[in-house]
Structure 1
Amino acid sequence: MDTQQTRGDPAEPNTNCNGPSTMAEKIAVIRACESMKPEDERICFDPYALHFLDPGTRQALLRNSGAFRYILAQIENQLPGISGALVARVRCFDEFVQQSTNTGYGQIIILGAGYDTRAYRMDDLKTIRVFEVDHPDTIRVKVEKIRKIFGTLPNQVTYVPADLEEDGLELKLADRGYDPTCRTLFLMEGLVMYLSPAAVDRIFSFTVKNSPKGSSVLFDYCPEDDGTGSGAGWASVRSATAFVSRQGEPLRSCVPGSIRDFLTTRGFAGIRNMTGADLRQAYFTGKNRGRTISELYSIASASVGTQTCTVGEEP
């Protein structure tokens, strides 16, 4: 097992486990602010993110048409490049999911779902069974918010309360109708780095052992910081790492060395990786050309046990 614990918080549990995720709401703030930009300027669009904000922030954004720029500027001053990294991540995941829905996936598992809104804002997901898995406290708040937004819960979404550090996915998903013979897309956005290395390995092991060939994973991760990196890029990474730790949700795992080695040893093939530089090249054009992006996250996709490439993968 070569996932490594992050420097500074080697074995501390998530101290926010008795309430909904603090970081889930902070990330929703960034999605909401980005979505309020003009269409030719925004990187991603999430019309429901606003509903997951605290009342004060939500009202400020609704009352003042320019408030979103002030909030994003504050975030950028505190954590340079982090909002760019997060909205690029949302865009990358959205595009992968959009392309994948036309290639035969029968179900989607969103692990660490937080306040993810893809099942509600992407039309193609309204005909595919979606399992949203997260800590019971976060799921409780999520369900309350979705009821308020839509008046009811969508039929195609199954909510799975689970502590991914403690609970086995086999029983949690089987109890709610997960089909291990059905080609499945596993999404893990903003999850892997918050789990212990042991929990990360259990999830990838479950994916390989309980889904058919051609199933896929898409996840973001933190490359290992060995402490030797210098310059503004690594400085922003270390600032972001310290910030999330102060929120009670420290980064606990990173991927050292090659992501290809990490995934092939766990039974995956057709691996594709996108770094912060790749995301900048893909999305930060036009009015966003000068926008900064933190190198905190990279994004990887892979297939279960087959060399056949699926959408978005490299042979």
Structure 2
Amino acid sequence: MGNAAARTAVGPMVIVAVDQYEEVPLVRDKLAYRLLPAGVKLMASVSRIPLVRRWMINATEKQAPGLWASMLCRKRYIDDQLRDAVKSGVEAVVILGAGLDTRAYRLPWLNGLPVYEVDLPENISRKRAVLQRLYGKIPDHVTLVPIDFETEDLQEVLTAHGHRADTKTVFVWEAVTQYLTEGAARRTFDYLSTAAIGSRLMFTYVRKDFLDGASLFGGEAMYREYVVKRRLWRFGMEPDQVAGFLSEYGWCLADHIGPREFADRYLKRRGRDLTASEVERSVCAEKA
């Protein structure tokens, strides 16, 4: 299961890399293409042709309506929230399930902060090799932290890599929770409950009614692939229960958005004829 989840790290970066050819990218990320595996780069590079790019988007939308816009919008949303968190005085960044994420290297407001990128050992090894190729070493402000979220203690592992529990921290947990069991997700929230006052948390989740098959929101193919066939997506939340869930762990819901807010904040303003999916939603919370 861990290896299967690890392999899903490439897909979102392909979408970000392709989006760089749009007149106004939703996420400006010149590193995305460079982090892709060699075989995938060709596919991303030919998307500079508008007809090819449109074909790629349409093919993705046919299989998973709203997925293309959702991946871009959630990244832009978390970037914006990170900037606000830095302005508020956070002292460190922990990215849980970092995959091939580039925030530590492309966002100028993170340059002066220690960033801990936490992920499965397979993904960390891949990230280390890519960073060595790009920069010749791991940038000084970045610490790569390998972990198996199902079996290892997050607090012990982060502490061993230099993160202090009393540091006001912004935690980013993007597109990870659905791959965990409820037990593993709650163990992570147990750790997050110990975060310093003033810390921030940005995470995404898949709706529980989608995982249960009760409401598929047009994502029947995605449901069959990720829930039924591959059994990769296991943990979900109900939107009206998120605030209560967070309060159990000492966090206050600050923002909770989905396709409507993504359209208003990002898509319409840039003239993008895309619609985000209701299957996944994004959350920002503050440690009370």
Alignment TM-score, normalising by the size of structure 1: 0.83
The structure where helix makes up a greater share of residues is: 2
Question: Matched residues, percent identical?
Answer: 25
The alpha carbon displacement at 1:78 in A equals 2.2
For the pair 1:56 / 2:44, whether they are aligned, the reply is no
Contact 1:106 1:182 survives alignment (8 Å): yes
**Contact map agreement 1:29 1:50 (CA 8 A) in 2:** yes
Equivalent pair of 1:14/1:248 in contact (CA under 8 Å): no
Query: What corresponds to 1:43 in structure 2?
Result: 26
Q: 1:272 to 1:64 in 2, by over 3 A?
A: closer
Which deviates more from structure 2 when the two are superposed, residues 177-186 or residues 218-227? 218-227
Change (3 A) 1:285 1:203: same
SS of 2:94's equivalent? strand
Relative to structure 1, is the Cα distance of residues 109 and 249 closer, same or farther in structure 2, using a 3 angstrom cutoff? Answer: farther
Spell out the pairing of 1:63-142 with structure 2 (5 A cutoff).
65-66=48-49, 67-142=52-127
- Contact 2:18/2:45 (<8 A) preserved: no
Q: CA deviation at 1:88?
A: 0.6
| SS in structure 2 of the partner of residue 235 of structure 1 | coil
Q: CA RMSD in A?
A: 2.0
Distance 1:216 1:281, change over 3 A: same
Task: Give the TM-score normalised by structure 2.
Answer: 0.91
1:273–1:263 CA distance, 2 compared to 1 (3 A): same
For the Cα contact (< 8 Å) 1:132–1:157, is it kept in 2? yes
Does 1:267 pair with 2:255?
no
User: Which range is displaced more, 95-104 or 53-62?
Assistant: 53-62
Q: 2:180, 2:42 → 1: CA distance?
A: 33
* One-letter amino acid of the structure 2 residue matched with residue 212 of structure 1: A
* Cα deviation code 1:238-278 (max 9, x no counterpart): 43233335895711100134211111122212432112222
Contact 1:28/1:49 (<8 A) preserved: yes
Aligned to 2:151: 166
Specify which of 129, 134, 146 is matched with residue 149 of structure 1. 134
Q: Which amino acid aligns with 1:16?
A: A
- The residue identity in structure 1 corresponding to 2:4 is N
Residue 222 of structure 2 is aligned to residue 240 of structure 1: yes
Residues 293 and 162 of structure 1, relative CA distance in 2, 3 Å threshold:
same
Instruction: Check whether the contact 1:23–1:247 (CA below 8 A) recurs between aligned residues.
Output: no
Deviation readout 1:10-69 (Å, 9 max, x if unpaired): xxx44626xxx2211011111111122112xx2212211112323233134335631444
Counterpart amino acid of 1:33?
A: V
Give the counterpart letter for 1:56 in structure 2. G
Instruction: Return the alpha-carbon distance in structure 2 between the equivalents of residues 108 and 165 of structure 1.
Output: 22
Runs of at least 5 residues in structure 1 that lack an aligned partner in the other structure = 1-12, 307-315
2:9 to 19, 24, 35: 24
Task: Write the distance in 2 (CA, Å) between the matches of 1:227 and 1:170.
Answer: 34
| Larger relative contact order, structure 1 or 2 (CA cutoff 8 Å, min sep 6) | 1
2:184 to 194, 199, 206: 199
Classify 1:287/1:156 alpha carbon distance in 2 versus 1 (closer, same or farther; 3 Å): closer
Per-residue deviation at 1:71?
Answer: 2.4
